[in-house]
Structure formats: C-alpha cells, structure tokens
Structure 1
Amino acid sequence: MVNEMIIELIILVIIILIVVVFVYLYNSLVKLRNRVKNAWSQIDVQLNRRADLIPNLVETVKGYAKHEKTVFENVTAARAGLMNAKTVQETAEANNVLTETLKSLFAVAENYPDLKASENFRELQGQLEETENKIAYSRQFYNDTVLMYNNKCQMVPSNIIASLFNFQEEEFFEIEETKREVPKVEF
C-alpha cells in the first residue's frame, strides 16, 4: 500500500515535471519568435526612415544637378522597391539595390562643390549616415535573435515542441557577397 502510494507520487512528480518542461520550452519558443518579429520591425523602422530621407536628399541634389535625370529615377525606383518588399529576402535585395543607387547619387554630388557646402545636404547626409548605422545595428540584432530562435527550433528537446506547434525557422537578413564592400562616399 505504501509502495503503491510512493510509486503513484513518483509518477505524478514525473508528469508534473514533464508538463513544466513542456510549458517552459513552448513559452521560450514563443518569446524568441516574438523577439524575432520585434527585431524585424526595428529594421523595418530604420529602412522606412531611410526611405523617408531619400526624397529630401534627391530634391536637394536635383537643385544642383539638373541633368542627372537617370540617377534620380534609379534612386526613386530603388526606394519604391524597398517600400514594396514583403519578405526578409525581398527587403535584403531591395536594400542592396538602394545602397548601390545611393552610391551613384553621392558620386553625382561629388561633382558639385556648392552642393557639398550646402547645410541641407550636409544635414541630410548626416541623418542618412546615422540611419545606416542604426540599420546595421538592427540587422545585427535581428540576425542574433534569429540565430537564438533557430537554435531553439533545432535543438533537442525544444525541437519536438517546435515541430508539434509548427514553429518555423526564420531567415537571416543577408546582403549579397558583392555588396559586402563598404561604399566609398567622398565629399
């Protein structure tokens, strides 16, 4: 009788322990998935800030470089591509295109000494640089968070919970290999 009670108690403790571990693993997966979503939204905020600065920058440069129409059209199209991107991969690709077109915009700006001295242009350039730094930080934070989440989705025993509740691995925010060099902007 006493042995049966002890066995029942041990079984009950084991069941409770399994439930507690299950709940802990499930909650940690939810927390990491939400952290990934939050990290992505931080990148999105900075990319939108960057996209909002670009029309002002383009208009400032346009005043000095009226004949550089294709550069302005390319920057505008690249900005629209970034604003319309839906997935992490699309956003990364659109970001790469925009970075390339901004290089050509700054190359045009180099040819206009009065523009380089313009207070508006310098302020916009500073804001864009600050935003680029924030994007880099946000991208790093996002990728670190995705790494933690993906590890949790792949490692035993949390991978069992992840597969049971359809937790999907997330994509990293990556730039193309050819885009990894630092853009050269001279004034």
Structure 2
Amino acid sequence: MPGAMAAANARRVPCVRRAMPNGWPAVAPRRLLFRRLAEMAALWPDLWDWLLRLALLAVLMGWMVGAYNRLVRLRTALVTAWGQIDELLTRRSAALEPMIEALREPMAAEANTVQALEAALLKQQEAARTVRARPSAAEALSAWVLAESELGSPLARVQALVEQHPEVAHTDPVRPLRKQLEELGPRIGYARQGFNEQADAYNEAIQAFPTRLLVGLFRFKPTARV
C-alpha cells in the first residue's frame, strides 16, 4: 500500500494558473470579464455625454458655415448687381462728357446750365467711385443716390434747351450722344431695380433669426436700396 500511495502521489501534477494571451489568468474568466464590463459601463454615461456634445458642436459648425456662405453669396450678388449699374454709368459719362464740351460754344448763353450739369456729373462720378470700392456699404450707396438725383435736374434742363435749338440738336457731335443717353436711361433704371431686389434679399437674410447672430461676428451690415 505505501508503494501504491507513493506512485499515486507521483502521478499528481501541480495546478498551475496559465495566463491567457491578453494577460488575464485562466482562473475565473467570467468574473474578470464582468468586472471589465462593469468598468466600461461606468464610463458609458461620460462617453455618451461627450459624443452628444461633439454631435451638437458639429451641427452648430455646419449651420454656421452654411449661413456664412449664404450671406457671402448674397453679398457677392450685390457686387455683381452694382457692377452692371457701374458699367452703364461709365457709358453714360462717356456720352455726357463730350456732349457738354460740344454744347459750350453754341449754348454760351446758357453757360450756367451747362456748368451745373458738368458739376453734377463730376459729383455723381465721385460717388460712384466710392461705391465701386464698397458696393454693399449703405452710406456710400445713399450718397450716390443723392448725387444721381441731383444730376437729373440739370440734365433734363440741358436736354430741354437742346430740343429748343434744332441747329444744335441735329449736329453730328450732339445727335448720336443724345441717342445714347436716351437708350441708357431705361437700362440704368432696370439695373437699379435688379440691385434693389438683391439688396432686399441680403437685408432679409441678415435680419432673420438665427442668422442675425452671425452679423456682428462676421461684420455683415445692412445695405441700402438705390
């Protein structure tokens, strides 16, 4: 019997805890797994809170970029609309300047009227140059509107005087220039109408909520009608 017990003891293998590849011991893997899951579950509220804040921030940034780009597009449309007006104003000046020179001698008796037209034209041109630098600036646009209205009265008087002097109205320097002015007048009015439509759309956009929250941040300012 002692020999048999010794042989049995010799066959016993000591229990060794084998390690798993990930470092967990092979003993009680379920208990350790539950512990790890419990630790992860404890972090879930913070994780979801962080993900929610990140998602809200992404939505906010996306809206800001979209709203900013829309305002930029509307302001660019204003610049384009003024460019159309400015081109017509340049063509009108190109017709008015030589006509004024052509009228100086034959209408010397009406020199004051011709000079008033010349002064009003220079004022309008200066105001237009100011707008050209900042086509959406309300102050510059309002100044141009005033200068343009002041040009209308002396221009109408000169045109009426020319009509009263056929010998002047039908001369080669004056007749084609008068025709150009007659064609440009309605076109300028139509271009101004197009600008006003763009100005209304731009002003409505920057005053709408919540877009108006970006106005101060990105320095968008209301524009003026012409």
TM bucket (normalised to shorter chain) is 0.7 to 0.9
Bigger Cα displacement from structure 2, 111-120 vs 24-33: 111-120
Instruction: Give the match for residue 68 of structure 1.
Output: 110
- 1:15 is aligned with what amino acid? L
2:92 paired with 1:54: no
**How does 1:9-158 map onto structure 2 within 5 Å?**
11-85=53-127, 86=130, 87-158=140-211
Task: Give the distance between the partners of 1:119 and 1:18, measured in 2 at CA.
Answer: 65
Q: Which amino acid aligns with 1:161?
A: L
Superposition CA RMSD, Å: 2.2
Residue type matched to 1:56 in 2? P
Q: TM-score, normalised by structure 1?
A: 0.80
Structure 1 unmatched runs, 5+: 174-187
Deviations 1:115-138 (A, max 9, x none): 233343231112112222232122
Q: Distance in 1 between matches of 2:66 and 2:114?
A: 53
Q: Considering only CA atoms, is the larger Rg found in Structure 1 or Structure 2? A: 2
Say if 2:224 is the partner of 1:171.
Answer: yes
How much has 1:101 moved relative to structure 2? 0.5
Q: Secondary structure at the match of 2:109?
A: coil
2-structure distance, mates of 1:44, 1:117: 29
Greater Cα shift, 67-76 or 3-12: 3-12
The CA distance in 2 between the partners of 1:164 and 1:117, in whole Å, is: 58
Q: Which amino acid aligns with 1:142?
A: F
TM-score (norm 2): 0.68
Q: How far off is 1:150 after superposition? A: 0.7
**Structure 1 CA distance for aligned equivalents of residues 179 and 164 of structure 2:** 19
Residue ranges of structure 2 left out of the alignment (5+ in a row): 1-40, 131-139
Q: Which structure carries more relative contact order (alpha carbon 8 Å, separation 6+)?
A: 1
| 1: CA distance, partners of 2:181 / 2:66 | 42
**How far, CA to CA, are the matches of 1:100 and 1:59 in structure 2?**
19
Percent identity, please. Answer: 27
Displacement of 1:109:
0.5
Alpha-carbon distance between aligned partners in 2 of 1:112 and 1:83, rounded to the nearest angstrom: 28
> Equivalents in 2 of 1:104, 1:72: separation in Å?
9
Inter-partner Cα distance in structure 1 for 2:109 and 2:197: 44
